[in-house]
Amino acid sequence: NAGVTQTPKFQVLKTGQSMTLQCAQDMNHEYMSWYRQDPGMGLRLIHYSVGAGITDQGEVPNGYNVSRSTTEDFPLRLLSAAPSQTSVYFCASSSTGDEQFFGPGTRLTVL
Amino acid sequence: SQQGEEDPQALSIQEGENATMNCSYKTSINNLQWYRQNSGRGLVHLILIRSNEREKHSGRLRVTLDTSKKSSSLLITASRAADTASYFCATDARDESQGNLIFGKGTKLSVKP
């Protein structure tokens, strides 16, 4: 099993550009989440999903959209990138909502 | 807002010593988890302790939970240089949807050979 995969690993955007961060898991997990990690801030939850077709907002959802059309995929869309969205983004999945399996992360810089 | 707060923010010890990290949280929880993050990598789950448990062991790891004080500790015994990483606690708040974990800011552990 590949586990949780994220693409791209690195991305540089200009302010106002849009992009989609991809996340996929091959463990048939129902729960998937997106976090951002900023220096000294730990991880903050952006959006999460408890199953295909179901998504909900986390602590810092503004500026981000998600959808969950399949169990495997949970893309995160930045609609109009801002410098404040410069961060490392982690996707995670879980079968029970407890133990989470994390992807390797996407390092995003917005100029 | 951050649910968990780890203490200390940074810890430097010699190989073979024990390392203790603490976590405090604000609201009632279903469970508390500890994760490890090596530099530049994703988080790896270490151990989960449920709200009705007081202590749990896994290899060189020992976790305690005191729900009356809303605090937990992670003890790593006989530390190794490979234990150098950041350690995070995460709580699954009782009044939140399952899967909605809230992480603390982490303790950065450095183990010197």
Give φ, ψ of A68 to 5 degrees.
-140, 85
pLDDT at B96: 58
The 10s digit of each residue's pLDDT in A12-70 is: 999 999 999 999 999 999 999 999 999 877 899 999 999 999 999 988 999 999 999 99
Q: What is the mean pLDDT of residues B57-63?
A: 97
Of A79-88, B63-72, B92-101, least confident by mean pLDDT is B92-101
pLDDT at residue B99 is higher than 70: no
User: Cα–Cα distance between B42 and A104 in angstroms, integer?
Assistant: 5
> pLDDT exceeding 90 applies to what percent of chain B?
74
CB contact under 8 A, B97 and A56: yes
Q: Is the preceding omega at residue B8 within 30 degrees of 0, hence cis?
A: yes
DSSP structure class, residue A103: -
CB contact under 8 A, A41 and B105: yes
What residue of A is the nearest CA neighbor of B3?
A44
Find chain A residues with C-beta within 8 A of B8's C-beta. none
User: Cα–Cα distance between B101 and B77 in angstroms, integer?
Assistant: 27
Interface residue B25 vs chain A (CB under 8 A)? no
Total beta-carbon pairs less than 8 A apart between chain A and chain B = 65
What residue of A is the nearest CA neighbor of B98?
A97
